[in-house]
């Protein structure tokens, strides 16, 4: 099993992501892979130190959704997104978000984490 490492990603003005652990710029996909593999990742503006995690993580989710090979199985369905937009600024949104967080926590507690490495091993065993 790989050692989990803390990655303090710095975001530069040109939206390039720099990871001091790798001592190079990384892609959004690589940051997503770090998270899926269980690494602790922080994301901040390189100059101001402002926390940009929510913005960058949202970008990662959206990019992955748009690049999906199976559009029939979207993570964020059109209807779900429409309802989120309709609920913005209303008390109902906090209920929906709390419910989603609780459900994710419950699922996480019942399911062993699957990493990209685990998925590759499963594919190799099938061949």
Query: What share of the chain has pLDDT > 90, as a percent?
Result: 41
Rounded to 5 degrees, φ, ψ at 41 are -125, 130
CA distance 91 to 72: 31
Tokens of 30: 């690589």
Query: What residues contact residue 93 under an 8 Å CB cut-off, 6+ apart?
Result: 84, 87
Contact of 4 with 40, CB cutoff 8 Å: yes
The gap from C-alpha 41 to its chain's centroid, in whole angstroms, comes to: 10
Per-residue CA distances from 112 to 33, 84, 108, 122, 126 (Å): 17, 29, 7, 14, 20
Contact of 39 with 56, CB cutoff 8 Å: no
Residue range 7-61, pLDDT digits in tens: 999 999 888 999 999 999 999 999 999 999 989 999 999 999 999 999 999 999 9
Contact of 37 with 3, CB cutoff 8 Å: no
- Band of the pLDDT at 73, cuts 50, 70, 90? confident
């Amino acid at each position: 099993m790989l050692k989990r490492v803390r990655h303090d990603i710095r975001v530069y003005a040109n939206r390039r992501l720099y990871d001091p652990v790798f001592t190079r710029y990384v892609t959004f996909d690589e940051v997503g892979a770090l998270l899926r593999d269980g690494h602790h990742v922080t994301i901040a503006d390189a100059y101001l130190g402002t926390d940009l995690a929510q913005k960058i993580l949202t970008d990662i989710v959206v990019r992955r959704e748009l690049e999906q090979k199976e559009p029939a199985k979207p993570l964020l369905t059109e209807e779900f997104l429409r309802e989120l937009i309709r609920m913005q600024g209303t008390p109902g949104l906090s209920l929906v978000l709390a419910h989603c967080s609780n459900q994710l926590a419950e699922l996480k507690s019942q399911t062993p984490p699957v990493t990209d490495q685990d998925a590759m091993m499963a594919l190799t065993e099938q061949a």
